[in-house]
Amino acid sequence: MVLWARSEASADRACASVEQAARVVTDLAELSACTIVVEAIAEDPQAKRELYKRFAGVLSDDAVLATTTSSLSVSELAAASGRPDRFGALHVFNPVHRMELVELSFPDAAAESTRARLREFCARLGKTAVEVPDSAGFVVNKLLFPYLFDAVRLLERNGLDAKSIDTCMTLGAGHPMGPLALLDMVGLDVAASIGQSIGCEVPPRLRELIAEGKLGRKAGAGFYEYD
């Protein structure tokens, strides 16, 4: 398995995280022998299109390209990739090592062989794949983000701290992680972008934290402080 990082700094961070699970590289040409390539950059359609242009001269003709998007149009990304018959969305969930689900979504042009290869890939990862329509948010985020944003509004209204709300939902509803801790893990900027894409009003408190640069775990602060 090969993990391509766009910079040396990103490669160093990846090496610290993946340990022996993947070989970390910064040369895009290292992906030329890969049969399935999963793109997981920012939820920015222009950034994804530019990356796909770079892939065009590197990936083999038979390689399947998958994106981890859950908020952008899979059909539009497939068209931008130049290989719509070998394209799909493969949406995993955080924390990846604990969450069993993968939402799979395909453009109409996706070949049956592409669909079968991505289903098999999910099975090899030990995940359960569910095929969902090409609709912003798919199933989980469409239902999840209104709940997460309601937790932020509750925090704004009732004076409870983040830990109290999260404890209520982990112990009272059996959730593996509270909504505010989950937002921090997702990244508050990413959460706001996903919310907007599915038509959810982003709570003022979330916008305030983003403006302060408190984007969650990756920034060292969000609804919680991190070392």
Q: How many helices (H) and strands (E) does the chain have?
A: 9, 7
Q: How far is 74 from 88, CA to CA, in rounded Å?
A: 7
Q: Which of 83, 91, 127, 142 is catalytic?
A: 91
Q: Is 28 exposed, middle or buried (0-12, 13-18, 19+ CB in 10 A)?
A: middle
Respond yes or no: is residue 91 known to be catalytic. yes
Phi-psi region of 220 (alpha: psi -120 to 50; beta: other; left: phi over 0): left
Nearest to 8 by CA among 24, 19, 32, 22: 24
Angle at 137 between CA 79 and CA 87, to 5 degrees: 25
3-class secondary structure per residue, 87-144: EEEEECCCCCCCCCEEEEECCCCCCHHHHHHHHHHHHHCCCEEEECCCCCCCCHHHHH
**Which residues participate in catalysis according to the annotation?**
91
